[in-house]
Structure 1
């Protein structure tokens, strides 16, 4: 397992951290975001999507479970938030397996709620709160 840690000192450091994560994403379409509530998963995904050229407003798909964006090359990016999931069958019901198998980028918040559906090949990003606006970001694959 390869691991890398990025220290994010403030919101101003997000674009640089997103660029580092983009480099680590090469060859991965499933990116899982772990971290406690309020750790900044959605905020980081916004910065990552901006670095990928997504022109849309990025928001958490807390109630819809999935949002679709388009990157600078008009390729789909799927953003999932499984926090409110009561059962893995709900994810199956929205076609999560088809999204995961599509080969397109899937950014997944609260992936542990759908662990049984996730392919073994994935990148895991763990965000840990280290201060009011600072975070530690750990990348594992």
Structure 2
């Protein structure tokens, strides 16, 4: 498990660049943390470090947003907060996205735990102050 300290929002780009190195061999990246912990904010910084030019925003109502990285490869950003049952994720084709081999960034993965592949990265954000956060990165197998 790797731990990164984010003393302020200004540290986001540097930490995102470090986390990007860990993503190289993983396509499923799950983000946990309480409401307001900064999951979407960190995903924005991560996408910027991958050359995404699109506006990155939470897909709370759409459930999934698609962006393109600097190599024009798709990145799928999910927010499953509003789901009541994992079958709702199946209905939008989540399993096909997960099997695509393209990067899938998943907020609130615990809502669809049964659908997730065993091997994935888990990034947990902990609020430590008004702007400060601790980010833990763990490889799940």
Q: TM-score, normalized by length of structure 2?
A: 0.98
**Distance in 2 of aligned mates of 1:25 and 1:64:** 25
Q: Please identify runs of 4+ aligned residues in structure 1 that moved more than 4 A.
A: none
Residue 24 of structure 1: CA displacement? Answer: 1.1
Specify the alignment match of 1:15 in structure 2: 13
State the alpha-carbon separation in 2 of the partners of residues 138 and 24 from structure 1. 12
In 2: Cα distance, 1:63 partner to 1:53 partner:
25
Instruction: Give the Cα separation in 1 of the matches to 2:90 and 2:102.
Output: 17
Aligned pairs, how many? 139
1:94 aligns with 2:95: no
After superposition, what is the alpha-carbon deviation per residue over 1:41-66, rounded to whole angstroms, capped at 9, x for unaligned?
A: 00000000000000011000000100
Match of 2:54 in 1: 56
Equivalent residues in 2 for 1:1-141, closer than 5 Å = 3-141=1-139
Q: Secondary structure of the residue that 2:137 maps to in structure 1?
A: strand
State how far apart, in whole Å, the 2-side matches of 1:125 and 1:23 are. 14
CA distance in 1, matches of 2:54, 2:65: 11
Give RMSD over aligned pairs: 0.4
Give me the whole-angstrom Cα distance separating, in 1, the residues matched to 2:22 and 2:90: 28
Per-residue CA distance 1:9-61 (angstroms, 9 max, x = gap): 11100000001110111200000000000000000000000000000110000
Distance 1:19 1:25 in 2: 10
Unaligned runs of at least 5 residues, structure 1:
none
SS at match of 2:10: helix
Matches of 1:71 and 1:39, distance apart in 2: 25
